[in-house]
Each structure stands twice: as C-alpha cells, then as structure tokens.
Amino acid sequence: MSIAQPIKAEAAGRPMTVQILKSKAETALAEAFADNEARLPGGDWLRQLRRAAIGAFTAEGLPHRRVEEWKFTDVRALMREAFPVALDANLPKPAALDALVRNALPGADLTEAFALFIDGRGAAQSGLSAISELDGAFLSQFVDHPPAWLETEVSDVSGHVGEATLALNTALFTDGAVIDIEKGREIETPIALIFADADKGARTVVTRNVVRVGAGAKIVLVECHLASEAARQANTLTQIVLGDGAEVVHVKLVASRAGSVHLGRTVARLGANASYRPFQLVSGDGLVRNDLSVTFRGQHSTFDLGAAALANRQGHFDTTLVVDHAVPHCTSRELVKYVLADKGRAVFQGKVIVRPDAQKTDGKQMAQALMLSPDAEFDSKPELEIYADDVVCGHGSTSAEIDPELIFYLRSRGIPLDEAQAMLVESFIGEAIDKAEPEAIQNALRGIARAWLAGEAHIKQG
Amino acid sequence: MAAVQETIDQVKKIDVDQYKYGFETKIESVRAPKGLDESTVRFISEKKGEPAWMLEWRLESYARWRNMTEPTWAKVSYPKIDFENLYYYSAPKGSEGPKSIEDVDPELLATYAKLGIPLKEQEILAGVQGARVAVDAVFDSVSVVTTFKEELAKAGVIFCPISEAIREHPELVKKYLGSVVPQGDNFYAALNSAVFSDGSFVYVPEGVRCPMELSTYFRINERNTGQFERTLIIADKGSYVSYLEGCTAPMRDEHQLHAAVVELVALDGAEIKYSTVQNWYPGDKDGKGGIYNFVTKRGDCRGHHSKISWTQVETGSAITWKYPSCILRGDHSRGEFYSIAISNGRQQVDSGTKMIHLGKNSSSRIISKGIAAGHSQNTYRGLVSAHRKATGARNFTNCDSLLIGDKCGAHTVPYIEAKNSSAHFEHEATTSKISDDMLFYCQQRGLSSEEAVALVVNGFVRDVLQQLPMEFMAETQKLIGVSLEGSVG
C-alpha cells in the first residue's frame, strides 16, 4: 500500500494469507519501543500516534518478499537483526561538526543554511532562522506543543500505518528538521539537511523531516546522508507540502556502506501550479530503499524526478515510487538510471495512478540499467493504473551491458579500455544528473559519480 | 488523447449485448453428481475408461488441490466460487466412445454449423481458398468428433481427444503430461489435473510439417457445469504445427468456470504456433452471468532453436485471468506473444505473458494491445526474466492500452528481471517506438504516422489471424486495424 489511498477496486479482496513469524529484528524493534517510549520526544498526540504505529508494525512485521511492494527487497531477510536505537548522541567537538558540514557535498557550499543531525539528534544549525518562519529548526523542539499545521501534517502522514517502515518511523523517530517557508519567498541558498553519526557502536537511527512551502515560494532542499563509520540502520522520512505555485528542488544524497541499511521515504503533496523536482543519488555497497510518494492535489502541477544509482560489491538499491494523479492537467516525469558493478542489484518500481477525473494527465517514465558485471541484477516494474481516457502515459525500461562496439570505437581512437568504459558510463548516468539543479550542486554530483567510477576502474569488459 | 471514433464504433460492435453465440442447444446429457470429492475424480476417470496410472495421477492432483488456497493477487474481483456447487462432468447422451461423423447427434452438428465450424471433411472454410482445417470439437466435457484423423495419420501426426491418447498412446502422455504445467503448479492447474475431462492431444513426429491447420473448438452448453479441458501438444525435432483454439458458450445469468490447462513442448528446431480466439459469453451489460476463464497455458521450448508463438484475440469471458507463457530452455530458442484483449461491459481482464529465458541467446517478443470500454478493467501483467546462464538473452516488449469512456480502467504491470548482464531487455510503451525505421519508411511514402503504426502492427499479427477458421475472423481483422491513436502505455 502506498500513501496514496488505493482505488477501491484494488483494495477489495487482497487479504494477506501469509502467516507472519516474528523475526529477531522485529522482536528487537518492538522491544526497543517498549523500553524507550518515555524517552521519545512528543506530547500526548504524538504518543498516541506512536502507539498505534508500533501496534501496526508488530502486526505486519518487517516487509518481506510476499508483500508485493517489497517483492524484490526482502527487508526481513536482509535485516536479520535490529541495532539498538540511538537516543543519546555523543556529540563530537564543534570543529568536527564544522568539518562534517563543509565536506558533506564536496564541491558545493552548504554552510550558509543547514541543520546537522548526529545519530538522529539535532546537533547544529545555521542560517535557518532567517529562512524559516519557525523559531528553531529541530522537530524535537516542537513536538511537545506543536503549531496546529505541524500536528496535522505529521498526523496525516503517520496515519498510513499499513506500510511497515512508515509505521516504524512514526513509532521511533527521535528528531529531524522542520522548516516552514512563508508564501512568496524565493530562497536561492540551498537549505541543507545533513545526517551523520558519531557513535562507534551499531545503531538504529530514525528521523522525520517536515517541510512546508507556502504558496509561490521557491526553495532548494539538499538532504545528505553521509556514509557511516559504524553500521547504521537508518529510517528517515521527509514530508513536504507544496502550496499553490510553490517550487521545490529536492536533492537527496545517500552514501551507503556494506552492513548498513537506509530505509528512506519522501512524501510530497502538491497544490495547484506547483513544481516539485527531486533528484536522488545513491552510491556504495549497502542496502538502500528510497520510497517516493507524490500526490497531486491541485491542477497544472509538475513532478520531475531524476535519479542515479551507482552500486558496487553487494550494493542493493531500490527506488519505489507512487505518483498519484488525483486531479486533471498534471505532468509527471521520471528518469532513473542505474549502474551496477560486481554483485550490485537495482530495483525499480514505479507506479503511476491516473484517477477517473484526472483527464489530460501527461506521464512519462524511464528506468534504465547498465550492467557492468555478469553478476549484476536489475528488477524493474514500471506500473500504470489508468482510469481516465484522455491521457498520455508512457513508460519504458531497459537493461543491457556496455555496447562492445562503442568500446571498440573508442579504443580504436587510442582511448584505453578503462577510460573508454568510464566515459560511456558517465555519459549514461549524465543524462539523469543533468536534471539536478542548481548548477553548483549538479557539478558536485557529477564529481561524486566520477569518484565512484575511478574507484571502479577495473570494471569488466562489456 | 482520447480514442478516435472509428475505434469506438468497432468496439461497440462487439459489446457484450451483441454476443452472437449465446444460443443453447437442447440436448440430453449425462452428468457427474454435483460437487467434488474423490468419487467425482474416480467417476470421470471411469467414464473415460482410463488406465490405473491416470487415475492415480488425478487423485494425487486432487489431494494437492485440497491443500491449496485460491489465489487472490490478480486485479479482478468476483464472489467466491463454490466448488461444491458445480458439475465437473457433463456429456451429451450417447456420445461416449469413438465416433465417425455419421454417428454424431444431428443436433450437435447443427450447433457447430451455427457456430461456423466445419465438421465435415469435404467442407472447406468460407473465404479461405484451398485451406483445410482438422477440427476437434469439444462439447462440455467430451470431444464429439475429430476430423481428418486418417489423413493426418498418414503423415504420422497424432491428433485426437486426450482421453483417446491416454488409452492409445500412454507412453507419450506419460512422458509429457504435467511436464510443463506440473500438477501442483497453481490452484486451478491442480483442479484441472484432478478433473480434466477432455481436450486435444497432438503429436507431430520428427521432421514432419503438419499438413494442415489443427483446431479445437470448445463449447460449454450445459447449465451449472465447469469446463476443464486439457491440451497437450508435442512437436518433435524439426517439426512444425499450427494450432487454433476457439471457444463460445450460451448466455446464462450464472457464472461458469472454465479452468483449462494447455501444455506445449517444442523439441530441437521445432515450431508451434498456437492461436486463440476466446469468445466465451462475457455476461450481460450489468455483469450478470458470463464465464470465468482461469486458464494456465505454458509452452516449453525444450530444444535448441525451438520456437513457440502465442497469438490471442480476447473478447469474451466475464473474467479472463491467464498468462500464456514460454519457458525458453533451449539455446537460441524463441518465444512470441501477440495479444489483443478487448473488454466491454463489466468484463475484467488480467492477462499477459511470461517469458522465462534460461537458454543462451534465447529471444522473445511481446506485443500486447488492450482496449477497455464500458465499465471494464483491463490489466496487462507480464514477466520477462533472464536466468544467470541465459547469456545473450533478448526481449522486446510493447504493450499499449486504450480506454474508451471514463468508467473503465487500463493497467500495466510488467515485471522485468535481468539476472544477467548480457541480457538486453527493452520494455516500451510508446507507440512510436515499435520501430522508428519502419515507421519512418512508411511515413516517407506518404502514410500518416497512425496508418504506419497500424500497418506495422498488422504486419506481424495478420498472417496468423488470416488462418482463423471462424466467422469471427473478419471482425478480428478489423479490430487489429483499429487505430492506435490515443493509446497509452
């Protein structure tokens, strides 16, 4: 189930007949809640939400391959044990925090406006008070007595307890960013949300970000999840509401390391004439799942996703999105590119729903994988669910290795094999990275891709 | 873009209230007692005069079925089927045992004449010059007549009801039955394995090109019965066979279950072309009555360089739920799937195909067109997978859907699983991508892009469709020609 309410025809008669056996990790997570409930932030309203969520999680368990949406990413099997929940962040010295922010995205300056989180707890922030309407940037500061809108937004998204990882986020989130942009404000400075860690032990880190962008406002949001020194199981949810005519560029970066798990989710709701342009870059060899749920609430809005993933060793990257065209005249675009080395595995599940009234919907989707190794795997499920008759919707999905003829061409012109391969991979992934904005950030992302390629110089002959 | 007027008119012509084959034949029949238990299975086996090994096979299937739960994952909804309230065997009285055309009840002959099926060997198909088709006519649970048997036998081709094959050619049936769709494959396949009553058996020996088209025509007539037929086609090394299947049923206000199993085996270098015109009664405009068509069809390209091609035109059934598939086991084997599924009224379709690449350099192509009108729901669900050892696997998929009206739905759920870096998979849902070169060529010669697309689509389906031995053929061809304008992925 997605955040988008399923159409009735689908909801009818899909009982789960699979008997759920509690795994070690599931038991540990339920116990973590019971043991630490009193230490989790939030007033009564949140406590109730958390209890309902953990109840739903206990009933559902971690997602597994018999749950259609998790068919290719069996978290129950991949996450044998759950790490202890990080509650007391042992903060590094201020100089170390500064360095984290400066190096979060090499090649781009994120120091002007940022919020830094260490092990799921707000550690430092700067420049946000001039941007946000709120007196503070950390969600934990507000959850005891939240402004009405914040309570509504958090409750609304948390209400969808059917999705196990979302329920887990609601039950256990410790902190996150909260940003409220006044209508009409246009902010060019990128707003950075940086997630890092300090604790040397293995930890579960759960964060929730809430962003409200007023009518006609414009922002650039950059979410950086840095690779952990120690093993991390991160569960992070960013919920964004775009008012009429608002424009948001949302870059999300995940550097993943073997043994770590990143269960990320973005829930975006768009008003009329709004534009939401996310870009996601995932690299490394851990397990990453990015859920993205977009609902159009007003007409003539645009959703334009670009995503690139670079997997090596045992990297398992999953992009699952649900785009819900609930109103007419909206446009959605998705371009997702995967480069898979070693035993890298990519999963793409893209579901576009066009509801009965959503005439004149324009949807296009493309997912492509370039396989650099015979052991790589790509599973793709581009899905369309269309109930309106006057729409244009298309999707495509391809997978292949590097064309040997192209390699031959480049080599015949004196370019060494490694370089030729890197050039072709870069041009493949470049098409997606071109969608990232603004330019400084696009260049920084290209730098990350090049660095990954340089480390992957021994790619096997295509 | 919305659908163009020509398409709308064409689809209207085959709307659910235009069903032409809904008459009932008044004929006395023999039925098994209502309900399903071991004794039903024994009853059917005994009626068919089957050897003990067959009965055992059936009973084993029944035991497995007992322990299975009904699948619910498809995008279709229907009230729970009461398996105890069905007749599992029904045969026109006096139809037991082998028959020549002279012995067949004239009432039955009249029925098939009305359906446009030639059961007399001297007859040739209207409009198809010089083409002869051998027909196996299955009426409820029995095969009433099989034509051209002797002439086929001269070429070494065995074409007979499966019940006869079990008696006459047990070594072949034993070797291949259940080897493609195992007894416990799925809920409905297990049910079929337990209670299947008739169907066709084809064996084409090594190096033989079957001298004529083979065809089976399925007719459900009796009230309250399910039809469970079983088809087994074996193409030995280097042989070729083209097989056509048609189906109709009377209009009734109850739902009837049709759970068939079709198994195809193609050995080295063999080719099987399997075409279906599925025109079961679709129910009335409010969704009352109609056939539940829950069928397991699977082909096994067991040998190197073998080829299996499925072509289907689906306009009937209240619910169609099937995925004619190809297991591409042999190196250089090829699977093809061409489908046109048109749903009207309250019809529900959840159909598609599976191409499972196991052999090296195996290739497959999927072309699917779904048209949904009225209150219908039309889903394409397909799987393309390449096994680790399937180096050089190739697939091209193109599925288009078209909606007519705002009360229907068209859905696409493709699964693409590449476990091999040398596999080249392309899934396209944009009409202009059929082949840019071909389209460009046509357009260069003055065709509009829409005409060009129709021409290209026609190019690969028409040669099969022209062979269809049914009155429906003409309409089908028109349907293939319907404009693709306004189609969505």
DSSP collapsed to 3 states, chain A: CCCCCCCHHHHCCCCCCCCCCCCHHHHHHHHHHHHHHHHCCCCHHHHHHHHHHHHHHHHHCCCCCCCHHHCCCCHHHHCCCCCCECCCCCCCCHHHHHHHHHCCCCCCCCCCCEEEEECCEEEEEECCCCCCCCCCCEHHHCCCCCCHHHHHHHHHHHCCCCCHHHHHHHHHCCECEEEEECCCCECCCCEEEEEECCCCCCEEEEEEEEEEECCCCEEEEEEEECCCCCCEEEEEEEEEEECCCCEEEEEEEEEECCCCEEEEEEEEEECCCCEEEEEEEEEECCEEEEEEEEEECCCCCEEEEEEEEEECCCCEEEEEEEEEECCCCCEEEEEEEEEECCCCEEEEEEEEEECCCCCCCEEEEEEEEEECCCCCEEEEEEEEEECCCCCEEEEEEEEECCCHHHHHHHHHCCCCHHHHHHHHHHHHHHHHHCCCCCHHHHHHHHHHHHHHHHHCCCCCCC
Identity of the residue in A68, A373, A381 whose CB atom sits nearest the CB atom of B421: A373
Identity of the residue in B1, B73, B413 whose CB atom sits nearest the CB atom of A383: B413
- Tell me: the pLDDT tens digits for A416-446? 998 898 899 999 999 999 999 889 999 999 9
- Interface test with chain A among B416, B432, B436, by most A beta carbons within 10 Å: B416
- Pick from B44, B238, B62, B206: which is nearest to B141 by CA? B44
Which residue of chain B comes nearest to A356, CA vs CA?
A: B406
State pTM to two decimals. 0.85
- Tell me: the pLDDT tens digits for A374-431? 899 999 999 989 888 788 888 888 888 998 999 999 999 999 998 898 899 999 999 9
What's the mean pLDDT when you consider all of chain B? 81
Which residue of chain A comes nearest to B70, CA vs CA?
A: A17
Residues of chain A contacting residue B72, judged by C-beta atoms under 8 Å apart:
13-15, 17
Chain B: closest CA distance from residue A137 (Å) = 42
* Cβ pair B357, B423 in contact under 8 A: yes
| Tokens standing for residue B473 | 């053929």
- Tell me: the pLDDT tens digits for A302-332? 999 999 999 999 999 999 999 999 999 999 9
Q: Report the alpha-carbon distance of residue B145 to residue B136 in Å, rounded.
A: 6
B413 Cβ neighbours under 8 A, 6+ residues apart: A381, A383, A384, B75, B352, B379, B380, B381, B382
Query: Does residue A59 surpass a pLDDT of 50?
Result: yes
Q: What percent of chain A has pLDDT over 90?
A: 74
| Tokens standing for residue A369 | 């994988």
Residues of chain A contacting residue B403, judged by C-beta atoms under 8 Å apart:
386, 388-389
Residues of chain A contacting residue B406, judged by C-beta atoms under 8 Å apart:
356, 359, 387-389
Which residue of chain B comes nearest to A339, CA vs CA?
A: B421
The secondary structure element, H or E, covering residue B66 is helix B52-66
- Determine, for residues B489 and A359 on separate chains, whether the beta-carbon distance falls below 8 Å: no
- Determine, for residues B414 and A382 on separate chains, whether the beta-carbon distance falls below 8 Å: yes
- Tell me: the pLDDT tens digits for B115-140? 666 666 545 443 344 456 677 777 77
Pairing of β A191-196 and β A121-126: unpaired
Residues of chain A contacting residue B3, judged by C-beta atoms under 8 Å apart:
389
3-class secondary-structure state, position B439:
helix
- Tell me: the pLDDT tens digits for A208-229? 999 999 999 999 999 999 987 7
Q: What is the pLDDT of residue B286?
A: 82
- Determine, for residues B425 and A387 on separate chains, whether the beta-carbon distance falls below 8 Å: no
Q: What is the pLDDT of residue A10?
A: 37
Q: Report the alpha-carbon distance of residue A418 to residue A422 in Å, rounded.
A: 6
A34 Cβ neighbours under 8 A, 6+ residues apart: none
Q: What is the mean pLDDT of residues B272-282?
A: 85
Count the Cβ atoms, other than its own, within 10 Å of residue B485. Answer: 18
- Tell me: the pLDDT tens digits for A133-164? 999 999 999 999 999 999 999 999 998 767 89
Q: What is the pLDDT of residue A325?
A: 95
- A:B CB pairs within 8 Å: 131
Q: At B5, is the pLDDT very low, low, confident or very high (cuts 50, 70, 90)?
A: low
Give B221 or A24, the one with higher predicted confidence: A24
- Determine, for residues A13 and B72 on separate chains, whether the beta-carbon distance falls below 8 Å: yes
Count the Cβ atoms, other than its own, within 10 Å of residue B426. Answer: 18
Q: Report the alpha-carbon distance of residue B207 to residue A237 in Å, rounded.
A: 63
- Determine, for residues B429 and A396 on separate chains, whether the beta-carbon distance falls below 8 Å: yes
Angle between helical axes of A417-433 and A404-412 (0-180°, round to 10): 120
Query: Does residue A259 surpass a pLDDT of 80?
Result: yes
Please tell me whether the peptide bond between B79 and the residue prior to it is cis, using omega within 30 degrees of 0.
no
Residues of chain A contacting residue B407, judged by C-beta atoms under 8 Å apart:
356
Residues of chain B contacting residue A374, judged by C-beta atoms under 8 Å apart:
388, 391, 420-422
Query: Does residue B353 surpass a pLDDT of 90?
Result: yes
- Determine, for residues A356 and B406 on separate chains, whether the beta-carbon distance falls below 8 Å: yes
Chain A: closest CA distance from residue B401 (Å) = 9
- Interface test with chain B among A8, A379, A384, by most B beta carbons within 10 Å: A384
Cα pseudo-dihedral B285, B288, B290, B291, rounded to 10: 130
Query: Does residue B244 surpass a pLDDT of 90?
Result: no
Q: In sequence order, which ranges of B75-207 are alpha helices (DSSP H)?
A: 106-115, 149-154, 162-168, 170-176, 187-195
3-class secondary-structure state, position B464:
helix
Chain B: closest CA distance from residue A382 (Å) = 6
Q: How far is CA A147 from CA A208, A319, A416, B365, B367, in A?
A: 16, 33, 60, 57, 54
Q: At B2, is the pLDDT very low, low, confident or very high (cuts 50, 70, 90)?
A: low
Q: What is the pLDDT of residue A462?
A: 33
Chain A: closest CA distance from residue B390 (Å) = 11
CB burial string A295-321: b at 16+ within 10 A, e below: bbbbebbbbbbbbbbbbbebbbbbbbb
Q: What is the pLDDT of residue A310?
A: 94
- Determine, for residues B72 and A378 on separate chains, whether the beta-carbon distance falls below 8 Å: no
Q: At A37, is the pLDDT very low, low, confident or very high (cuts 50, 70, 90)?
A: very high
- Pick from A364, A358, A349: which is nearest to A325 by CA? A358
Q: What is the mean pLDDT of residues A453-459?
A: 64
Chain A: closest CA distance from residue B303 (Å) = 25
Which residue of chain A comes nearest to B78, CA vs CA?
A: A13
3-class secondary-structure state, position B2:
coil
